[in-house]
C-alpha cells in the first residue's frame, strides 16, 4: 500500500498529515503527486470527493518549503484559481492545515469581502494565493498584487469555471504570469473546451484520470421520484422526516426559489440554512460553519455551492430542481459519500424537467432507478410549460397536482396580498372586472432559467 512517506513529501508535511484524517493517499493523490513534484504540467481528471486539493496542494507546498525566504511585497509564488467562494475557503483551510508549523503563508481573495483588507493582506506578499478570477482581476487592475514571479498556476474545477463564464478572466490573468511556470489543471468532467484550455496553458501535460469523466461516486445510491412541481415541498418534508438527525443538502435552481424553500422548511420546524448568490460572504461562511458543526440538519443551495462543500456528515442529497447542466448532477450528488462513506441522492422530476432527466441519464449511460411515481407521458410533458414560460400565471400547476399551491407552500401566509390566490384559487382565476390574474404567493417553486 502506498503511503504519503513513499511519495517523498517533506517531513514537515508528513508531520502535519498525522494530525488529519488523511492516512493513505487516494488514487488521484498517489498518481498525481509524483509527477507534480518532478515539475511536470499535469491534467487531473477525477470526480468530486476524491481528494484533489491534497493532490495538488501537498506537492506544491513541498516545493515551496525548499525556497527558504519570504516573497517580496505584493508578490505571489503560487496561484490557485477556483470558481466559487466556498471552494476557495475549503482549499485555503486545507492548505493551512498542511502548512502548520511552517513559514509558508496562504492568502485567499474572493468577491463579497473587503477589497481594502485583501489588498492589505497582499501588500506583504504571499506564498500561495487562492482566488476567484473576478476578485483577482480587481486587485491586479489596482496594482495591489503582482504575478510576475508566480511560478505555479493551478486551475481547480476548470470545467465549472467554464460553466460560469470565467474563460475571459482566465485569459486576462494568464497574461500576468510568466510563461516559465508549472501549470496544473483539475476537472471532474472533460468537455471540449477543457481540452482547448489544456492545449493553450499546459506544456506536454501528464494526464492522470481516476474515473471516467461524469461518473458519480460509486457509493451514492441514486433514484428519481416523479412528482408534480407543486407537490415537491411536501415530498421533501416526507423524505427529511424519514431520516431524522441525518444531514441533507437540497439543491434548487434559483436564488429566489432556494431562499423561499429554506424559509418554508424552517416554518415547518426544520433546522435549515441556505447559501446562494444573494448571500454575503459572511452569511455564507456562517451558514456553512453551522452546518459543519451539526447545528443545521438541512442546507438549501444553488449550484454555486455544488463544488464547494466538503462535509463528510452529509448523507442525503435532494435535487429539488433538476440541474440545467447534466454535469452539475454529478457534482451535486458528489457532496455525499465523501472519502469512502455511503450516501443517497433523490431527484424530484416534474413534467417540465424530463429533458433534464434524459440529459443526465445520457451522461451516466444508464437510467436512474425510479423510487416514486411513474415517468411522465409524452402528452403531459408537451403540455407542461418550460421554466421561464407563463411567468404571470400559476406556472406550478401541473397535471396531477394535488392543489397544495397557496396553502402550505407559503412560509408566511399573513403577508399575502388580498386576492393573491393564497386560498387555493384555481389556476387562471384572477380578479373580476378584467384585471390581471393575481400573482401566486409561493405555490410552485417552478423557477426561471435565470442566473444563480
CA 257 to chain centre: 17
List the one residue out of 252, 253, 239, 232 whose CA is nearest residue 299: 252
Model confidence band, residue 230 (pLDDT cutoffs 50, 70, 90): very high
C-alpha grid cell for residue 259? 431562499
Q: Which of 26-30, 212-216, 371-375 has the lowest mean pLDDT?
A: 212-216
Task: Convert the pLDDT of each residue in 244-279 to its tens digit.
Answer: 989 999 999 999 999 999 999 999 999 999 998 888
Domain boundaries, the chain: 5-209, 220-393+404-410
What distance in Å separates the CA atoms of residue 308 and residue 82, rounded to the nearest whole number? 9
* Rounded percentage of the chain residues whose pLDDT exceeds 90: 55
List the one residue out of 53, 14, 13 whose CA is nearest residue 32: 53
41 to each of 36, 60, 67, 126, how far by Cα in Å? 7, 12, 20, 22
Q: What is the pTM of this model?
A: 0.65
Task: Convert the pLDDT of each residue in 148-169 to its tens digit.
Answer: 999 999 999 888 788 777 888 9
According to the model, what pLDDT value does residue 101 have?
A: 84
* Rounded percentage of the chain residues whose pLDDT exceeds 70: 81
Number of other CB atoms surrounding residue 237 within 10 Å: 16
How many CA atoms lie less than 13 Å away from 222 in the CB half-sphere? 21
User: Residues 6 or more apart from 151 whose CB is under 8 A from it?
Assistant: 77, 78, 178, 180, 181, 182
Answer yes or no: is pLDDT of 431 > 60. Answer: no
Answer yes or no: is pLDDT of 18 > 70. Answer: yes
The dihedral through the CA atoms of 175, 180, 181, 186 has a sign that is positive
* DSSP three-state, residue 252: coil
According to the model, what pLDDT value does residue 1 have?
A: 57
Model confidence band, residue 146 (pLDDT cutoffs 50, 70, 90): very high
Answer yes or no: is pLDDT of 178 > 80. Answer: yes
Answer yes or no: is pLDDT of 410 > 70. Answer: no
What distance in Å separates the CA atoms of residue 260 and residue 264, rounded to the nearest whole number? 6
According to the model, what pLDDT value does residue 112 have?
A: 82
Number of other CB atoms surrounding residue 378 within 10 Å: 9
Task: Convert the pLDDT of each residue in 279-301 to its tens digit.
Answer: 887 888 899 889 989 999 999 99
CATH domain 220-393+404-410 topology: Rossmann fold (3.40.50)
* DSSP three-state, residue 106: strand
Q: How far separated are the first and last CA of the chain, in Å rounded?
A: 43
Q: Are 440 and 396 in contact (CB under 8 A)?
A: yes
User: Do 5-209 and 220-393+404-410 agree at the fold level?
Assistant: yes
The dihedral through the CA atoms of 276, 282, 283, 285 has a sign that is positive
Structural element, H or E, at residue 87: helix 85-98
According to the model, what pLDDT value does residue 339 have?
A: 55
Task: Convert the pLDDT of each residue in 30-86 to its tens digit.
Answer: 999 999 999 999 999 887 667 889 999 999 999 999 887 889 999 999 999 998 888
* DSSP three-state, residue 45: strand
What distance in Å separates the CA atoms of residue 398 and residue 89, rounded to the nearest whole number? 41
What distance in Å separates the CA atoms of residue 132 and residue 398, rounded to the nearest whole number? 40
Task: Convert the pLDDT of each residue in 332-390 to its tens digit.
Answer: 887 886 655 678 999 999 999 999 999 999 988 999 999 999 999 999 999 888 765 54
Structural element, H or E, at residue 199: helix 192-201
According to the model, what pLDDT value does residue 213 have?
A: 53
Looking at domain 5-209, which CATH architecture does it have? 3-Layer(aba) Sandwich (3.40)
Amino acid at each position: 500500500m502506498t503511503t504519503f512517506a513513499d511519495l517523498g513529501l517533506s517531513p514537515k508535511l508528513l508531520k502535519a498529515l498525522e494530525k488529519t484524517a488523511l492516512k493513505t493517499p487516494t488514487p488521484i493523490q498517489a498518481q498525481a503527486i509524483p509527477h507534480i513534484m518532478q515539475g511536470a504540467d499535469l491534467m487531473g481528471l477525477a470526480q468530486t470527493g476524491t481528494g484533489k486539493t491534497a493532490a495538488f496542494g501537498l506537492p506544491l507546498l513541498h516545493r515551496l518549503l525548499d525556497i527558504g525566504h519570504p516573497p517580496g511585497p505584493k508578490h505571489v509564488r503560487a496561484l490557485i484559481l477556483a470558481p466559487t467562494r466556498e471552494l476557495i475557503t475549503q482549499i485555503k483551510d486545507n492548505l493551512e492545515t498542511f502548512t502548520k508549523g511552517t513559514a509558508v503563508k496562504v492568502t485567499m481573495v474572493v468577491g463579497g469581502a473587503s477589497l481594502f483588507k485583501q489588498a492589505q493582506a497582499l501588500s506583504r506578499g504571499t506564498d500561495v494565493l487562492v482566488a476567484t478570477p473576478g476578485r483577482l482581476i480587481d486587485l491586479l487592475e489596482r496594482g495591489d498584487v503582482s504575478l510576475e514571479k508566480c511560478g505555479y498556476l493551478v486551475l481547480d474545477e476548470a470545467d465549472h469555471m467554464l460553466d460560469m463564464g470565467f474563460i475571459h478572466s482566465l485569459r486576462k490573468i494568464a497574461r500576468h504570469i510568466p510563461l516559465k511556470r508549472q501549470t496544473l489543471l483539475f476537472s471532474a468532467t472533460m468537455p471540449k473546451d477543457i481540452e482547448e484550455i489544456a492545449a493553450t496553458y499546459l506544456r506536454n501535460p501528464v494526464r492522470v484520470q481516476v474515473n471516467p469523466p461524469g461518473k458519480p461516486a460509486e457509493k451514492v445510491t441514486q433514484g428519481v421520484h416523479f412528482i408534480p412541481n407543486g407537490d415537491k415541498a411536501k415530498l421533501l418534508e416526507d423524505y427529511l422526516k424519514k431520516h431524522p438527525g441525518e444531514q441533507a443538502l437540497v439543491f434548487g435552481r434559483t436564488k429566489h426559489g432556494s431562499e423561499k424553500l429554506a424559509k418554508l422548511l424552517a416554518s415547518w420546524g426544520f433546522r435549515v440554512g441556505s447559501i446562494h448568490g444573494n448571500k454575503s460572504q459572511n452569511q455564507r461562511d456562517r451558514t456553512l460553519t453551522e452546518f459543519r458543526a451539526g447545528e443545521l440538519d438541512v442546507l438549501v443551495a444553488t449550484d454555486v455551492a455544488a463544488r464547494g462543500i466538503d462535509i463528510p456528515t452529509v448523507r442525503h442529497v435532494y435535487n429539488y430542481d433538476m440541474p440545467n447542466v447534466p454535469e452539475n448532477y454529478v457534482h451535486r450528488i458528489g457532496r455525499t459519500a465523501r472519502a469512502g462513506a455511503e450516501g443517497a441522492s433523490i431527484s424530484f422530476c416534474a413534467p417540465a424537467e424530463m429533458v433534464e432527466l434524459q440529459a443526465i441519464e445520457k451522461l451516466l449511460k444508464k437510467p436512474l432507478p425510479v423510487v416514486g411515481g411513474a415517468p411522465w407521458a409524452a402528452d403531459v410533458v408537451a403540455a407542461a410549460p418550460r421554466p421561464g414560460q407563463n411567468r404571470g400565471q400559476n406556472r406550478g400547476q401541473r397535471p396531477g397536482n394535488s392543489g397544495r399551491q397557496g396553502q402550505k407552500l407559503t412560509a408566511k401566509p399573513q403577508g399575502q396580498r388580498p386576492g393573491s390566490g393564497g386560498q387555493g384559487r384555481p389556476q387562471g382565476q384572477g380578479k373580476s372586472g378584467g384585471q390581471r390574474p393575481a400573482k401566486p404567493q409561493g405555490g410552485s417553486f417552478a423557477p426561471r432559467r435565470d442566473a444563480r
